[in-house]
Amino acid sequence: MRYFLSLCLFFVLLSCKKDSKNLETDVESSSGISAISTKDFRDFKILDSEIIANEQIWKSLEKQLADFSEEKYEALKSLILDQDIPTLQKQISEGKLSYEVLVKFYLFRIKTFDRENDLSLNAVISLNPNVIEEAMQKDRELLNKKLKHPIFGMPVLLKDNINTTEMPTTAGALALKNNTTEDAFVTKRLKESGALILGKANLSEWAYFFCGECPSGYSAVGGQTLNPYGRRTIDTGGSSSGSGVAVAANFCAAAVGSETAGSILSPASQNSAVGLKPTVGLLSRTGIIPISSTLDTPGPITKNVTDSAIMLDAMKGLDKDDFKSVNPKSVSYFNELSDASLEGKRFGAFKELMDDELYVDAINVLKEQGAEIVEISEEKIDLPDFLRLLNLDMKADLATYFKTSANKDLTYSTIEDVMDFNSKNSEKAMPYGQKLFEGVSKDNSTKEEFDAIKNTLKTNGKQFFDVPMDRQNLDGILSVNNFHAAEAAVAEYPALTVPMGYTEAGVPRGLTFISKPLTESALLQWAYVYEQASKMRLAPKNYD
């Protein structure tokens, strides 16, 4: 399937071909993908949230931040801005920082840049009211000299479809404004490794599988997320919009997103960040508001590859409640970066992308590091009934979430219950409509028909990558942004995007590595070598 630079949260992959012309051409009608249309992303009906306000977000933290001044902030910038996690830990071990000060620094930045001002990004939807106290506890625990995970004490933002006890999990939806829950499995794993949950990141509402006519980055609760590289001129990508923007703007040490088909790759590449969409099942989905139990996965969004490896180490773990969960590697993805090399590695590069100068430049960097590049053509495969897969999964999976993982006081048990709430509160709950929810509600199939849809999609997705990889003895495939996120999604293959530069208009672009299941260690190593050799990421202007 051609390159579709998606704007559909996980689905951000299908609206923009490489030549930026004929935006919805080459989309097979049988896939249903053409139903997921997007408006011009600058055509905003709503910018700031009408549900939350700064006063509400900061109420519980205001007094605790009173001792953190502008002077302290300025003095700390060189120690913290754009530093990787090992560097931050080194500063703390040398006494130049503390976890408490680090948390306050990020909170100060969020308060300065995120809402209700000329540079506002609307990336953060809520903050952990206990995070400063928890950071102070980490400073005390540091004194016991017990070996700590590299994520220990690091402030992390979670996409607001991931359950956590400290804040409601809303998916950006007014209907879930009071959805207080227990921790998701990956939230527990982060906490067990010592991470601090700083807050929740805004997202394209319901992971961009809700309105169909809305811009990426919009949610009723969080408002319109904006890209720091171009607030009103560059798309945020979606659906993990807030996670990508928050990382780019240095609002946290790292963030967690989720992807069904492009929702990590798109916002990561659009915000000059590193985004890892793992093999489906490597990270648990329990306690995450779903679209598709067939395709969904959480994954890290970070400023660099090192931090992605650290985050993946911290989140992995076998979850008996997730039917796709697999036993993770016992070794450390982070430690394995020390063995990174591209010598003799063979990568397939799409001929159809060779008019992209940034892609060609990235390929040349890989060659200089010892990689072998084989030009390949895209396999001519279809993804029939892709939209139906999402419809049928979401109808069942959302009902299961309400039953097992949502707040017990919520009165919803089906997607129709949410639709009814939205209709009764339409001005605030659904200013762009709820077209995709309507499609979910109307879709039905037999078990045999649904199984056939899934089997065909997975077979076709694997064929897209396996045919050239097996024919040319390739280690991986090279793509751009989320151009081949749909194929990777249905194949259930991992993908990692890393900054590869900026267009003449200043739009960030990512080089995306794709390979076969459970090759995350290799993806991280390849991306690490490329990142260190190219050093293409630049921080956004005006947010220093």
Report, as residue numbers or ranges, the catalytic residues: 159, 239, 263
Residue with tokens 């308060």: 111
- Residues 6 or more apart from 500 whose CB is under 8 A from it? 358, 359, 361, 362, 480, 509, 510, 511, 534, 536
Distance separating alpha carbons of residues 35 and 204, to the nearest angstrom: 17
- List beta partners, residue 201: 124, 159
Distance separating alpha carbons of residues 19 and 215, to the nearest angstrom: 21
- The Cβ of residue 163 has, within 10 Å, a number of other Cβ atoms equal to 27
Please name which of 339, 306, 317 lies closest in space to residue 151, comparing C-alpha atoms.
Answer: 306
Residue 320 to residues 281, 305, 317, 327, 403, Cα–Cα distance (Å) = 11, 29, 10, 10, 18
Distance separating alpha carbons of residues 121 and 231, to the nearest angstrom: 7
**If you ran DSSP here, which 8-state letter would residue 289 be given?**
-
First to last CA, the chain: 40
User: What region does 481 belong to: left with phi over 0, alpha with psi -120 to 50, or beta?
Assistant: left
Distance separating alpha carbons of residues 138 and 149, to the nearest angstrom: 12
Please name which of 388, 127, 397 lies closest in space to residue 288, comparing C-alpha atoms.
Answer: 397
Both tokens of 254, joined, read 């790292």
Cα torsion through 36, 517, 315, 10, rounded to 10:
-10
Is residue 159 within 8 A of residue 256, CB to CB? The reply is yes
- The string of DSSP letters for 63-122 reads TTTTT--HHHHHHHHHHHTT--HHHHHHHHHTTS--HHHHHHHHHHHHHHHSSSSTT---
